[in-house]
Every structure is written in C-alpha cells, then in structure tokens.
Structure 1
Amino acid sequence: MAFDLGFDNERNDISYSNSIIQQMENNFDLVLITERMDESLILLKDKLCMEDYEDIVYLRLKVRHNSSRRKLSAETKDKILQWNYLDERLYDFFNKTLDKKISEYGTLRMKNELQIFRSHLEAAAKRCILYYDQFDMKPWISRIKLRDNAGAHCEQLTWGEVKYGDYLRKKQQKYSGEGRVHQPSYGELKRMLNEAQKAVIGSK
C-alpha cells in the first residue's frame, strides 16, 4: 500500500510512519478496508448521500480457491509484519479509524443496514452469476461466469478498474459537453465541498 501511494515503503522508523498516517488522515475522509468492505461501503453511501443500495452493490471477483489458501506459522506472520512495517501501521490505524466511524454512525444502525445491503448482494449474485470458473492465467483464482442474458448491469459489475475508469471518464465527457474533462485538484474539491455545505446549512 505504501509503495502504491508513493511513500518510501522500506523505511520503518516510527516518526516517518506517523507523518504518513497524519498526511493520509488529512487527505482522506474515509479509508475503506477490504475485508470489511460491506461496512466501508455503507459508510461511503452515507457520506455521499446515496439513496439506492444498487449504487454500492458488487460481485466478488477473482476469488481464491480454498484449496489454495495456506495457514501461516507465527514466525512467518511476524516476518511479514516486519517486512511490511509501514503497511501494517497504515492498516492498523485506519482499521481502528473505521471502528470509530462505525460507532459514530451507530452500531445498531450499521447492523440493520448490513442485513439490508447483504440481501441486495445475494440478489445480485443470484441474478448475475451462473457459476465460478477457473481463471486460466491464475489457476488458483476463480472468475465469474455470468448467466445468459444477465444484462448490462451484471456485465459492468465484472469489469476491472481500468475498464471501469475509462467508462467513467467517457461518461464525464458526455455530460460535461467538452472533449476533455477538467479534473479538480484536492484543494479545489475541498473548497467546493465547503461551499456546498455552507449553502445547505444556510438554506435551513
């Protein structure tokens, strides 16, 4: 994670990791945790004022076969944590941050939302997935085989991030009416959000 974010993933001093955590906390209002994706998406849905669960529905892609999962020894686990010190600190901090956000959102409210959301996930899986097939290039991973005539929405749910990114950029261009969409900087986005919030508060 640290490498992908542009940080020095080989540094393991606490002062550097603290500065990175502070920088990320200042830049990101919400960090999603992969194995807590359902809770993360519900918080995202609330933060972006989405009304429809279909906006956050997903299908599980590239699932590892159970036969390919291995139990690691305590010694190996310790070595992995040492080798990935900065990643481990980032994960630990934002995992705890997610706990705090769930508490602020309401534990009982989150429990109820999870039940509703997971019923939508089950419905999407039944509607879209025929079965999981072997992924030829990576035989330890399964891939989705869609039902016949599953529909465009199901097809989109199987897209990778590159294809989906291209699709979203084209959609932006279509609605902007321009050949090239201006991508606001983080500062511009923050300023726009503050202005929108003031406008909403002022209208109440």
Structure 2
Amino acid sequence: MQELMCMTDEDLVYLQLKTRTERVAVDPVLSEKIRSWNKLDTAIYDHFLAVFNEKIKAFGTTRMAQEVMKLRRNIAAVKQQCVESVDTQREHSWIQRNVLRQGSPEHCRKMNWGEVKYGDRIRELQRSWTSIPPQPGLNLRENKLRATQIEILGEEVFQQTTKR
C-alpha cells in the first residue's frame, strides 16, 4: 500500500510515544454508549474502515500481511538502534517514554519528538516558505502547548526531546 502513497520503508517507520503502561478492557455496554455518543465520528470511521478493507482485499490479504510483518521488523530494528529503555514517568505513572541511546543518530531524536515539537517544526518550515508574518494568537497557542508538554514531561526531558 505504501506504493499507492509513494512512500519508502523509512517513511513508515516510527517510535511509539507516550504509551500507556497497560490496556484497559471496556465492557460491551460502555463501548456501545461511547459509539452512540460519537455517532458522527463512528459513521466516518466505519465508512473509511470499509474503504480500507476493500483496498486491502484488492491489494491482497496475504501480501498485506507480509507488508505489515516487514514494517514491524523495520520498527523493531529502529527501536533496537535508538531506544535504550522505556521509562515510566513519576508524575504520570500511566505514561511511558523512550530513553534514547547515548549518541543516537538525528533520525532517532526526531522520531522521539512529541506532537508539539513536530508542530513547531512544521510551522517553522511553513513560515520559511511564505511571506505571511507570524500571528500573535498562534504564538499564544504554541506557548500554551509547550508549557503543557513541559508540565507533563518535566523541563529536563522536554529539553532532551526538543534538541535539533
């Protein structure tokens, strides 16, 4: 399927960030209530899941399974290269974070950036391609997002994950 999107193996590899320490089972009654509360989201999800399943069928389920296995192997290789350990944060014990290996390559650090840092980097790149001046409201939003991430991760971890 990556061919349809003109992507390479490297484009698809990722590191999981801010993973939960455990999964919680949701009973079927609550699950149905959640689906009901989010009826529009559920309808959109169901539609695109059906489209996705048709694409898998056209692509070939065996071939798709092989591609998924290859992706998982590539992810495991990058995790082996980049991640020293997975640490549970004291303040938020349900969140795990990656501790990168000493001297990890730049691609490891970038894959470990949080959504705020990625958003900052994308906006920075977009600003360099346009002559539109920065908007004060956007800067306030960015600062709030950054402050929240520092509050969750801690200043030291935030600085480590935002090094370029």
TM-score, structure 2 as length reference: 0.69
For the structure 1 residues 86 and 136, does the alpha-carbon distance in structure 2 shift closer, same or farther, using more than 3 Å as the test? farther
Identify the residue that residue 149 of structure 2 maps to in structure 1.
none
Cα RMSD (Å): 2.3
Task: Answer yes or no: is 1:48 the counterpart of 2:15.
Answer: no
Aligned residues: 133
Identify the residue that residue 13 of structure 2 maps to in structure 1.
57
Correspondences of 1:29-178 after superposition (within 5 Å): 43=1, 45-50=2-7, 52-66=8-22, 69-171=23-125, 176=129
Report how far residue 172 of structure 1 moved: 5.3
Distance 1:56 1:144 in 2: 19
Distance 1:164 1:65 in 2: 24
Aligned partner of residue 143 in structure 1, secondary structure: strand
User: Could you list the per-position Cα deviations for residues 49-100 of structure 1 after superposition, in whole angstroms to 9, with x for gaps in the alignment?
Assistant: 12x311221011111112xx33222322222222222222222221121111
Quick one: percent identity of the two aligned structures?
A: 36
Aligned partner of residue 98 in structure 2, secondary structure: strand
Q: Which amino acid aligns with 1:60?
A: Q
TM-score, structure 1 as length reference: 0.57
Distance 2:96 2:47 in 1: 31
Distance 1:124 1:162 in 2: 22
Report how far residue 136 of structure 1 moved: 4.1
Report how far residue 171 of structure 1 moved: 4.0
The runs of 5 or more residues in structure 1 that have no matched partner are 1-42, 181-204
Runs (4+) off by over 6 Å: none
Aligned partner of residue 13 in structure 2, secondary structure: coil
Report how far residue 110 of structure 1 moved: 1.5
> Greater RCO between the two (CA within 8 Å, min separation 6)?
2
For the structure 1 residues 91 and 135, does the alpha-carbon distance in structure 2 shift closer, same or farther, using more than 3 Å as the test? farther
For the structure 1 residues 79 and 172, does the alpha-carbon distance in structure 2 shift closer, same or farther, using more than 3 Å as the test? closer
Report how far residue 173 of structure 1 moved: 5.8
